[in-house]
């Protein structure tokens, strides 16, 4: 596998869906012009992260407006595209879903957020995603010409088991569209991204929107790309920008040869995935 370039679109998100789609389209095209082979959008990039908005902004697969746009632009720019996430409507249920497209514009995978963010961070920040969103039940790894890529969404990042399963499935990169807030972000965002990368000896890409205020939360920003040694190789601040870095598959081999922790697992003593 040869090296390839990744671009994370840390885009501004507004209340206007068409404006958000235009921003996403522009940033994807800029990423492709910079030579990106894989482009990543953030969590809930078509609407602010307010639970009361998800129903109105939700789309059906495959005929949703956003999905058609993402398919077309992936095909036109000849890129792999992780379409952040959006509210996916299926019957009476809504899922927080990430659709992954290949350079022909075909959907090659879909991840529905497994772990729902129900929290009481302080007296002013209470968020219960499960009141609106249904949880997924599949760990997602898609095959690409660059190698297998895992996809998870936001709160999934706090559960190391699914990233270990991605790694054991051959993933060289895990992608996490997310919208951490200004309480959890400074405390845990970089720590979790670096930890998951080190634990599993693969690359980790965290894709956030640019900083903005919702009804309940302030979104943190700080998208970043981390290598298998835990080094941050590209990072954003709070503003809208592209975060671009390269993935070197040989880097995984080098690190796993130096520190073969995946081979050293004592599966005779623990079997956490089948309980």
Would you name the residues annotated as active-site residues? 43, 113, 154
State the first-to-last Cα distance of the chain, in angstroms, to the nearest integer: 35
Q: Is residue 173 within 8 Å of 5, Cβ to Cβ?
A: no
Q: Is residue 221 within 8 Å of 236, Cβ to Cβ?
A: yes
Q: What Å distances lie between residue 53 and 87, 111, 151, 175, 223, CA to CA?
A: 9, 21, 24, 25, 24
Q: Give the integer Cα–Cα distance in Å for 275 and 190.
A: 30
Q: Is 221 left (phi over 0), alpha (psi -120 to 50) or beta?
A: left
């Amino acid at each position: 596998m040869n090296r390839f370039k990744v671009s994370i679109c840390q885009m501004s998100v507004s209340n206007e869906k068409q404006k958000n789609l235009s921003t996403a389209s522009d940033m994807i095209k800029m990423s492709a012009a910079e030579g990106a082979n894989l482009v990543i959008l953030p969590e809930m990039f078509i609407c602010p992260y307010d639970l009361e908005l998800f129903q109105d902004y939700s789309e059906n697969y495959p005929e949703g407006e956003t999905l058609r746009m993402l398919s077309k632009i992936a095909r036109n720019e000849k890129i792999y595209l992780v379409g952040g996430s959006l509210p996916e409507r299926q019957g009476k249920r809504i899922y927080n879903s990430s659709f992954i497209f290949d350079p022909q514009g075909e959907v090659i995978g879909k991840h529905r957020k497994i772990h729902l963010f129900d929290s009481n961070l302080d007296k002013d920040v209470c968020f219960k995603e499960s009141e609106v969103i249904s949880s997924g039940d599949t760990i997602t790894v898609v095959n690409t010409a660059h190698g297998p890529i895992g996809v998870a969404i936001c709160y999934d990042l706090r559960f190391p088991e699914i990233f270990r399963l991605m790694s054991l499935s051959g993933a060289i990169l895990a992608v996490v569209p997310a919208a951490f807030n200004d309480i959890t972000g400074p405390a845990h965002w970089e720590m979790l991204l670096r930890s998951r990368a080190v634990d599993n000896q693969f690359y980790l890409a965290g894709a956030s929107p640019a900083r903005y205020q919702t009804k309940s939360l302030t979104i943190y920003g700080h998208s970043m790309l981390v290598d298998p040694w835990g080094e941050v190789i590209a990072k954003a601040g709070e503003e809208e920008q592209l975060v671009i870095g390269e993935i070197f598959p040989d880097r995984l081999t080098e690190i796993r040869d130096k520190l073969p922790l995946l081979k050293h697992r004592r599966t005779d003593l623990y079997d956490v995935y089948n309980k």
